[in-house]
């Protein structure tokens, strides 16, 4: 069995983490690989339902997600995490602990995220209706040394997904020749 890994997508709300991870998941599945996606919004509706948005709670949110990602990846699952995860220290702790952990900075300047306003959350935050909203009323610590940075305001979704695939190829985490038939 091939080793698992964790691709940890971090970035502002609306930067493109979920979009990229969702498309990548489909592509990887198509290659016949074991893949799982841990999405921040879904985790907050389930195992992190009890958590709010204070620094303390956000740290717990990152820790719990990291714990599951570690379990999956060490059992050979290609694990895609899309979580704002605003704190460098929390991310770096996971990076130091989890084998094959790659931090992917999904970079998109906040003015573009505001213009996208995928979930209408920025409008609310800018009207001071949402305390602790990352990038507006709460901090986001830019990754110091990400393994990959994707500038989603400058390229299409397809191009961004391809950049992650190229990254995976470059790390020999997937092989360009992989097809379903070859894998089974």
Q: Catalytic amino acids? A: 85
Residue of the chain from 156, 176, 177, 184 that contacts ligand ADP (CB under 6 A): 156
Instruction: Kindly list the distances between the CA atom of residue 99 and the CA atoms of 24, 117, 148, in Å, as whole numbers in the listed order.
Output: 21, 35, 17
CA distance 40 to 6: 15
Kindly state the smallest distance separating residue 155's Cβ from ligand ADP, in Å.
5
Evaluate whether 115 touches 43 at the Cβ level (below 8 Å).
no
Asked whether position 11 contacts ligand ADP by CB under 6 A, the answer is yes
Kindly state the smallest distance separating residue 107's Cβ from ligand ADP, in Å.
10
Residue of the chain from 82, 85, 90, 134 that contacts ligand ADP (CB under 6 A): 82
Evaluate whether 152 touches 82 at the Cβ level (below 8 Å).
no
Q: Which of 77, 32, 19, 38 is nearest to 175 (CA)?
A: 32
CA distance 107 to 105: 6
Residue of the chain from 118, 139, 142, 175 that contacts ligand ADP (CB under 6 A): 118
Kindly state the smallest distance separating residue 49's Cβ from ligand ADP, in Å.
19
Region of 15-23, 58-66, 130-138, 169-177 interacting with ligand ADP (CB under 6 A): 15-23
- Residue numbers of the site for ligand ADP (CB under 6 A)? 11, 13-20, 82, 106, 116, 118, 152, 155-157, 160
């Amino acid at each position: 069995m091939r080793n698992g890994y964790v691709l940890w997508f971090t970035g502002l709300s609306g930067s493109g983490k979920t979009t990229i991870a969702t498309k990548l998941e489909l592509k990887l599945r198509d290659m016949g690989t074991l893949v799982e996606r841990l999405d921040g919004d879904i985790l907050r509706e389930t195992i992190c339902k009890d958590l709010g948005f204070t620094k303390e709670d956000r740290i717990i949110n990152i820790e719990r997600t990291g714990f599951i990602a570690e379990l999956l990846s060490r059992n050979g699952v290609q694990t895609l995490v899309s979580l704002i995860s605003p704190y460098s220290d929390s991310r770096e702790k996971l990076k130091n602990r989890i084998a094959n952990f790659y931090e992917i900075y999904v970079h998109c300047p906040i003015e573009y995220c505001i213009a996208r306003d995928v979930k209408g959350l920025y409008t609310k935050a800018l009207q001071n209706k949402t305390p602790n909203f990352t990038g507006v009323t709460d901090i986001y610590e830019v990754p110091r040394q990400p393994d990959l940075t994707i500038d989603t305001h400058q390229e299409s979704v397809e191009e961004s997904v391809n950049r992650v695939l190229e990254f995976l190829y470059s790390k020999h985490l997937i092989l360009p020749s992989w097809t379903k038939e070859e894998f089974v």
